[in-house]
A and B are shown apart, each in its own frame.
Chain A
Amino acid sequence: MSRLDILTFVRLRGIMAALVVAMAAIIAAEPAMAATPAEQFVSTNVQRGLSILNNHSISDTQRRAEFRDFLTSLTDIRRIALFTLGAARRTASPADVDAFVNAFREYAVAVYESRLNQYAGQSLRVTGSSDVGPGDTVVTTVLVDPNGKSNGQEPIEVDFRVVQDNGHFVVIDASIVGVWLGQEEREQFTSFLQQNNGNVPALTQHLQQLAAQLRAGGH
């Protein structure tokens, strides 16, 4: 690694803050370019997200509420939560799994809401898509920073994994410069569970605490 790259990984988290941006701000600069339905889905929804973030005619509280509804409608949070639970989902009781899914939803929303204030006009441009399998597509986008902060940095690629569910598209994972967030969460949760005798309620409780702390952070 070059010296400047020694800590490059840490930059990822900052870039991850851009997930909010990613989910919210893909501006389909040119919607006509979106050739496939999955690309069109991403373009359209990011425009929706951007319009919420840039709507200054409503209060901050209202904007957050709208953005939360937008995020939860765009993603299949239960599916993501079950993925992040890894092998433990097969051994945990249905009640424990449901409690985990609810805690995960609160945690995920709290994480993204805590980063909303970092939004600074960035947008995303859809650049293409590739099929992972039937009804399972990765849509690629590039972060566009109007403040010119991309100078001296590599172009930042943000990808969305989009699946068709009962005829509707939903986002099930997102990656920033090649790092898939769902996979990262799963590795953390697996590690936590292995250190806590596979105790799913303990993980649920931990997520609830983190969400409460983030909310109390007063963002």
Chain B
Amino acid sequence: MRKSWAALTIALGLVVAGCATTTDTNSQVQTDPDDPLEGWNRQIFAMNQQFDHVLLKPTAEAYVAVVPEFARDGVHNFLTNLNTPVVFTNDLLQGEVNLAGQSVGRFGLNSTIGLGGLIDVATPAGLPYHSSDFGQTLGVWGVGDDPYLVVPLLGPTNPRDLTGYVADTFMQPLNYVGIRDYTYWALGEGAAGILDTRARNIDTLNQLEQTSVDPYASTRSLYRQYRRAHIQHGKTNLKNLPPM
């Protein structure tokens, strides 16, 4: 199910890309040379925002209002722990042996003492969380991030990160275990992940809307800068700093 969902989002992305290259008045807007699909991206961005306002944000607000914080933290920790095998695999693919070791340690500790991942006991034990994904791995291997894409539901991305997103699903061992009623499991996990992320960012997104001159351009800048820094493992690339 997860794979087919990912495939669907990619298909949609390709449709969007395909339309944008063939036509039309909507693709006239281009404020950034590295965003050739801006006209279409902006439309998808607006659509995603509407979806958020109508469904996602109210649901997240209800979730925060109804579910106590410790339980929400438990959900977050559980989902994070579940994803650790993917992080571990990408650590290895990037040649980050120390980080891979940390991932193993985190998974072991949190899955056992941390009650199946509900409690993050690894961070206080000196094994802080880090994320790794295959889009990042491709970036480490030298794959660039153009063109910028906004995909329905998934939001900002690019062909490299979208490919990475699909590849990551193949690194998830749960996909191979053959859980009964796997479709429901995958749907539930996916929905919980989206809800968790949205709920943790209610104030954040309100601010983005209130303070941005152009939320689309702001998000584009945030996404690109964040991903480029992620590929450098958070280290600022001093060579890329513009003169001020």
Name A residues whose Cβ lies closer than 8 Å to a Cβ of B: 1-17, 79-80, 83, 111, 114-115, 118, 130-132, 138, 140, 150-155, 157, 159, 161, 163, 172-173, 175, 177-180, 182-185, 187-192, 194-195, 203, 206-207, 210, 213-214, 217
Contact of A4 among B130, B197, B213, B236 (CB under 8 A): B197
A3-B244 in contact given A184-B222, A190-B31 (Cβ < 8 Å): no
In the docked arrangement, what's the CA distance between A217 and B206, Å? 12
In the docked arrangement, what's the CA distance between A182 and B133, Å? 28
Residue of A with least CB distance to B90: A2
B222–A153 contact, CB under 8 A? Answer: no
A183-B221 in contact given A1-B165, A17-B207, A177-B234 (Cβ < 8 Å): yes
A184–B218 contact, CB under 8 A? Answer: yes
User: Could you say which residues of chain A place their CB within 8 Å of the CB of B212?
Assistant: 188
Contact of A154 among B128, B161, B194, B222 (CB under 8 A): B128
B217–A188 contact, CB under 8 A? Answer: yes
Segment with Cβ contacts to A, from B10-18, B149-157, B175-183? B149-157
CB distance from B140 to the nearest CB of A (A): 14
Interface size on B, residues (CB 8 A): 69
CB distance from B199 to the nearest CB of A (A): 11
B31–A9 contact, CB under 8 A? Answer: no
Name B residues whose Cβ lies closer than 8 Å to a Cβ of A: 29, 31-32, 73, 76-77, 79-80, 83, 86-87, 120, 123-124, 128-133, 135-136, 154-157, 161, 164-165, 168, 189-190, 193-194, 196-198, 200-201, 203-205, 207-208, 210-214, 216-223, 225-226, 228-230, 232, 234, 236, 238, 241-242, 244
User: Could you say which residues of chain B place their CB within 8 Å of the CB of A187?
Assistant: 32, 217-218, 220-221
A4-B193 in contact given A190-B31, A194-B31 (Cβ < 8 Å): yes
User: Could you say which residues of chain B place their CB within 8 Å of the CB of A1?
Assistant: 133, 135-136, 157, 161, 164-165, 168
